[in-house]
Amino acid sequence: MKTIGHHTCKKEGSKEKVLKEAPYIAEYNYEKDKLQFLGTGYYFWDNNIKMAQFWGKNHYNNNYYILECDLNLEKPYFIDLVGNRGDILYFYKLINTFKKNDSYDKKWTIGHFIEFLKNKNNEIDGIFPFKAIRAIDFKPTKKKKFIFNFTRKRNNYTFLNPKIIICLIQKNNVILQSKRLIE
């Protein structure tokens, strides 16, 4: 799957330096309460410059760059928790397998569980070989303009502006194929 990723970062350093070094890693650290959504990685909005701008305004006090990248998310190193039912079922099976384990804690976030799986991959080769993850942030919104009902008689609906997050666990030229800096 190919897509465009938008990475928001603080406007520090020259454009050339940011273009060379970005995207920047977001570290997951439970003890320091750094609880990244999908664990440690390089975060992008999936083809959503509006969310990248929103993030820059709110998290970087309107002092930010947006890095626009061409991403190549291919099997077997990409797990898609948005649009691949097989990947979703696999991930859910992993959660249920380790829930039975003494090391699992019910208070774990999805990011904590992903970090656990990365470490488990060293013990159980191939259990979590992924270099990229895609998921939806379902934070409730008050904006109804993107909600469309399927029928008039039921409350079932679809949402046409999901916040889709991509986390690159590993930054490489195969996944991150090109990048441009947008102010």
CA distances for 157 relative to 68, 84, 148, 153, 163, angstroms: 31, 20, 5, 11, 16
CB 5 within 8 A of CB 47: yes
List per-residue pLDDT tens for the chain, 183 residues long. 999 999 999 999 899 999 999 999 999 988 888 889 999 999 999 999 999 999 999 999 999 999 999 999 999 999 999 999 999 999 999 988 888 776 667 778 899 999 999 998 888 888 999 999 999 998 766 667 788 888 888 888 887 888 999 999 999 888 989 999 987
Owner of token pair 């990244």: 36
